[in-house]
Amino acid sequence: MVTGTRLALETAQQGTDLRRAFSEWLYGAEGSLSRHPSDVVEPMPVVEARTSDDALVAEIASCLPDDAFLADLRTAGYPTEVPFARVVPAGEVVTYTRFHNGSFLAAALVPDL
């Protein structure tokens, strides 16, 4: 953060808006681990994914239980958020599985024993 603030201040002194300069450093710098707020892939219910026109999405979804969720990360930039917490019922325990070398991420509910 100190480095980013220093670089943003230097850029801003050259006539650039400080907020914009800091944001560009935070989200666009080489090696940044911060994701831009718009870099989000919404997970889809597996029941919906099974009827996808995308054959690969439908194929992967066919291997998952009905109450699972699937995120297609093929076009996602790094880093990207997959907000499974928005779709998984509160208090449920899930397991995560990657498919096709991480191009897809699934969250499946762990059944109560």
**What are the pLDDT digits (tens) for 13-56?**
666 666 776 666 666 665 555 556 667 888 999 999 999 999 99
Name the token pair of 113.
């024993």
Residue carrying the six token digits 């917490």: 85
DSSP 69: E
Q: Which residue has the higher pLDDT, 77 or 100?
A: 100
Rounded to 5 degrees, what are φ and ψ at 56? -70, -40
What distance lies between CA 86 and its chain's CA centroid?
12
Helices (H) and strands (E) in the chain, counts: 4, 4
- pLDDT, mean of residues 79-105: 89
Residue 27 has which token pair? 């989200």
- Average the pLDDT over 64-71 and give the result: 95
Asked if 89 and 100 touch (Cβ cutoff 8 Å), the reply is: no
| pTM (2 d.p.) | 0.68
Cα three-residue angle 96-97-98, rounded to 5 degrees: 130
